[in-house]
Structure 1
Amino acid sequence: LALQGFKNTHHMPGQESNPGAFLPKRRSVLVTGAVLLCLLLATFFVSMGWSPGLQDWSWTPIADWGEAWVWRGPRLLAAILAGVCLGLAGSLIQRMTGNVMASPELLGISGGAALVMVLIVLTGTEIGRAGQLGAATLGAAAALGLLILLARRHRFAGNQLLLGGLALYVFMDSGLRLVMASGGTVAAKLLNWMYGATWLISETEALSLLGLTLVICLGLFVAIRPLTLLALGDTSASSLGLPVTRARLGLLVLAAILTAAATVVIGPLSFVGLIAPHLARVLGQQTVGRQMIISALAGGLLLALADYLSRIVIFPSQLPAGLLAALVGGIYFLWGLSRHGRA
């Protein structure tokens, strides 16, 4: 029972390493979760109903939401679910590695999916959207397999895991940049997906992501105890009966599936999986289960806002939601470094 209250005392960027440097006041997860959920529902309601038109801004009556859903619903639902997946993946990775600057991108999973998409475009193969998603899933799985091979000799320890993932990420990102530097029609086909454009999402893809997310969330209950014990150190965790190597491998697979699920549908988004766990800590959620709940809601809210803003900021044109989310993330971290650095 004592382990259930074990707190995450990792620090914000720019903080000293002493225990009292940054430890937000603990808040009720029910109150915090309810506030975030209300904000998420409000964002969904406004995104579906209030939007600009050819003449002026107008409100879409709820009775007409069936027609509006075709254009606004799938992309919004997919953005929320991708944010939930990345928020959960970020919490898993940061807890598992003990590094608050770790993020799903550092696993190389999103890079693996993106690289396969690039190869498909380069070969000129016409396999349709469903085929692209399936191929990207295989690419994400291949990246996960390489990461497991790189990290297994070190029992999937945090630093070695991140270094292996970073090596994969840099390698795959270099390949992507070479393709993008060539310009032309190849680069144009890739830009929308790589920048996190949500307007490509179909209703089938959004509902498939919903089903997968629900299944994975049910399995995350099993991850709470291993994550809590791993924070005590390998020796202590082993003495308490936790098979450290197998636990880390299982958590890695869960994080990779969550990252891949978001990546193949929306693209290699940045920052969301890094920001959401930090926001959960700032909102006073220190224990594993509470942090995961708030991280999921914060990630979903962040991408829901990004999707709505991407649709209205330069209407009738659109911006990629992934770029807006990365912009918000960069501003947040600059603010965090400034504010906590003065403290």
Structure 2
Amino acid sequence: PIILLALQGLKNTHHMPGEDDSPAGFLPKRRSIFLTGGFIAVLLLATIVISMGWSPGLNEWSWTPIAQWHEAWVWRGPRLLAAILAGVALGLAGTLIQRMTGNPMASPEMLGISGGAAVVMVLIVLFGADIGRAGQLGAATLGATAALGLLIMLARKHRFAGNQLLLGGLALYVFMDAGLRLVMASGGTVASQLLNWMYGSTWLVSEVEALGLLALIVLISAGLLVIIRPLSILPLGETSASSLGLPVTKVRLMLLLLAALLTASATVVIGPLSFVGLIAPHLARVLGQQTVGRQLVVAALAGGLLLGMADYLSRIVVYPNQLPAGLLAALVGGLYFLWGLSRHGRA
């Protein structure tokens, strides 16, 4: 709350102290979307094949023939599909938010979207409400949208400047996270249920949930086709965008709602893993995809690949026990992120 109050008196709405007005950016070499997207798609397909076919057993590792995959699907398929789709959703949401704010460090987590969805999920578990997955998804979306609405109210006086937007989002996230930690500290069965979900566990995902997430992601992805042009114009500034006939307020609201729905859909199924929403757009840029449409496609594929690999590793690393996929995704993604930053520095 102190940070939120301090934001109201902050007058520097464009740059942080000591920041250059026009810093030189790192621009990787442009690459063909077909080569880049195809390469990631091949890696994703290989991840699916290995995850479904190559697995440890009670005595030794063994390969499951394709003819028997329908039997292995019950144990391996839904969780793998949900992990990949959640990565796709977070990759798309992260790209939307980074493009909208003009800040490469923006993510669903930093804007409080996942925190809002998580708080609603915690309340549902605490009160023992049995509203089903559809109800949970709707409630999580409302929580994410409410968090965004509060953030919009806080950042409106600064005309949604990127620094203030992210600082306000960080304050909201920390505030909500503190509430989650208080629930966890209480112990008991409620805390144990929330612990697995918060760490990004995929082993409890059912087939119905995975297929429902698939339908939702396909529907939202089709709607993203109409926002490519507005998302390309918004970084020009509010005045330039308005002069080109773009209804800036309506477009921003639509983008925020899309990002909230994507994040909430991933959060309600496997937990708050917004780190993927931060790193996937960066991976797309490092791989030479600069335009909006290309970055969206590659970020979605990269997010799906990252969480798909994390789900497989979480299943086999400490077999027969299992690790939360979210922890492994953060470890793998964090190492690559540090390596990418070192390349940026040398460039």
Query: Hey, what does 2:61 align to over in structure 1?
Result: 57
Check whether the contact 1:196–1:268 (CA below 8 A) recurs between aligned residues.
yes
Change (3 A) 1:271 1:245: same
| Structure 1 residue 329 displacement after superposition | 2.3
For 1:246-304, what per-residue CA distance to the aligned partner results, in whole angstroms no more than 9, with x for missing partners?
A: 21111111111111111111110131001100000100001111111100000000000
| Structure 1 residue 130 displacement after superposition | 5.8
Q: Aligned ranges for residues 11-22 of structure 1 at < 5 Å?
A: 21-22=25-26
| Structure 1 residue 140 displacement after superposition | 2.8
Query: Hey, what does 2:282 align to over in structure 1?
Result: 278
Moved more, 243-252 or 51-60: 243-252
* Residue type at the aligned position of 2:177: D
Q: What TM-score, normalized to structure 1? A: 0.89
Change (3 A) 1:22 1:156: closer
Change (3 A) 1:228 1:41: same
**1:184 correspondence with 2:188:** yes
* Residue type at the aligned position of 1:324: L
Check whether the contact 1:40–1:300 (CA below 8 A) recurs between aligned residues.
yes
| Structure 1 residue 133 displacement after superposition | 4.5
CA distance in 1, matches of 2:140, 2:69: 32
Query: Hey, what does 1:167 align to over in structure 2?
Result: 171
CA distance in 2, matches of 1:127, 1:234: 41
Q: What TM-score, normalized to structure 2? A: 0.88
For 1:168-218, what per-residue CA distance to the aligned partner results, in whole angstroms no more than 9, with x for missing partners?
A: 212111100111122333321111100000011111111111111111111
Query: Hey, what does 2:262 align to over in structure 1?
Result: 258
**1:25 correspondence with 2:29:** yes
| Structure 1 residue 132 displacement after superposition | 4.5
Percent identical among aligned pairs is: 80
| Structure 1 residue 235 displacement after superposition | 1.7
* Equivalent residues, number: 329
**1:78 correspondence with 2:82:** yes
| Structure 1 residue 145 displacement after superposition | 3.6
Moved more, 245-254 or 136-145: 136-145
Q: Which residue among 246, 250, 253 is the counterpart of 1:246?
A: 250
* Residue type at the aligned position of 2:102: G
Check whether the contact 1:306–1:325 (CA below 8 A) recurs between aligned residues.
yes
Change (3 A) 1:214 1:129: closer
Structure 2 spans left out of the alignment, 5+ residues: 1-18
Q: Considering only aligned residues, what root-mean-square deviation do their CA atoms show, in Å?
A: 2.2
**1:39 correspondence with 2:43:** yes
Check whether the contact 1:155–1:245 (CA below 8 A) recurs between aligned residues.
no
| Structure 1 residue 236 displacement after superposition | 1.4
Change (3 A) 1:16 1:49: farther
Change (3 A) 1:286 1:56: same
Check whether the contact 2:113–2:145 (CA below 8 A) recurs between aligned residues.
yes
| Structure 1 residue 324 displacement after superposition | 0.7
Check whether the contact 1:193–1:266 (CA below 8 A) recurs between aligned residues.
yes
| Structure 1 residue 131 displacement after superposition | 5.2
Query: Hey, what does 1:8 align to over in structure 2?
Result: none
| Structure 1 residue 163 displacement after superposition | 3.3
**1:229 correspondence with 2:233:** yes
Check whether the contact 1:108–1:165 (CA below 8 A) recurs between aligned residues.
yes
Check whether the contact 1:109–1:144 (CA below 8 A) recurs between aligned residues.
yes
Which stretches of structure 1, 4 residues or more, deviate above 6 A after TM superposition? 15-19
SS at match of 2:236: coil
